[in-house]
Amino acid sequence: MTEQLRLMAVHAHPDDESSKGAATMAKYVSEGVDVLVATCTGGERGSILNPKLQGDAYVEEHIHEVRKKEMDEAREILGVKQAWLGFVDSGLPEGDPLPPLPEGCFALREVAEAAEPLVRLIREFKPQVITTYDENGGYPHPDHIMTYKISALAFDAAGDPEQYKDSGPAWQPQKLYYNQGFNRPRTQALHEGLLARGMDSPYGEWLERWKEIQREDRTLTTHVPCAEFFEIRDKALIAHATQIDPDGGWFRVPLEVQKEIWPTEEYELAKSLVDTSIPEDDLFAGIREN
């Protein structure tokens, strides 16, 4: 294939790109694939989760600028391009009953209207492959669910010259994937592998919650081998210092154990306009061949 391969990853907030599919992106960058992260919101309403920065007056007052700077650093580490869609973080409502979402936030926008910047970006960047979240958002954050909605709409609309006529010439992506990195088989394998090595596992409570929820597992169609890029993934994640504690739970499993037990990142193929065989080990399967 003589045309440049291009991958677009659509995410809700800065830091999502580094916790979901980051090693995959770094792998493709190393192979010469053009990779663009589309970030829907600025993450303005995200809590400061790193205890070392909690109570920092400057960070709290300038959270938007701080999170933008963190995104710049993560982008450089991963070697990807990045674009902001310009929406305002909805926050994660808590309480019983849940409070209303803030006026003007991303999750309250009309889906067709909110999809326009993404349609425009798809038509400009011309990706063959797009990754995003499933209809549950990966977890039920309103911005993650809205990210799914605009991504699903934009995947089809970008290729239709009759839609969004003022948003550039039509371009039809060929494959749409849902990130499924936090899946039960991976979690179970890491849990059992740690215990077999006489090590503590941080996944016991996760697995118990899965039993309580009794939600069906997603279909994992695509396992991308990317273990050699786990270090880059972790560096990019740590760059989001307001969100990630480098001494916290994200890093309790040694990298060598992760590489040995589960050396891939997982996806669910949602739509494909090319022929491919399941299971896959490449997001561009069926595209390279054509």
Does an H or E element contain 195, and which?
helix 184-196
15 within 8 A of 240, measured Cβ to Cβ: yes
Q: Residue 24, Cα to own-chain centre: how many angstroms?
A: 11
The answer to whether the peptide bond before residue 140 is cis (omega within 30 degrees of 0) is no
Task: Say whether 223 counts as a known binding-site residue.
Answer: no
Compute the half-sphere exposure of residue 170: CA atoms within 13 Å on the CB side of its CA.
11
222-225 and 264-272 strand pairing: antiparallel
Task: Say whether 144 counts as a known binding-site residue.
Answer: yes
The pair phi, psi for residue 89, each rounded to 5°, is -50, 135
Collect all residues with Cβ–Cβ distance below 8 Å to 93 and sequence separation of at least 6. 99, 100, 101, 142
Other CB atoms within 10 Å distance of the CB of residue 261: 18
266, β-bridge pairs: 223
Other CB atoms within 10 Å distance of the CB of residue 153: 18
Distance CA 107, CA 101 (A): 8
The residue among 215, 226, 225 whose CA lies nearest residue 184 is 215
Amino acid identity for residue 256 in this structure: E
Task: Say whether 282 counts as a known binding-site residue.
Answer: no
Binding residues for Zn(2+): 13, 16, 144
Binding residues: 13, 16, 144
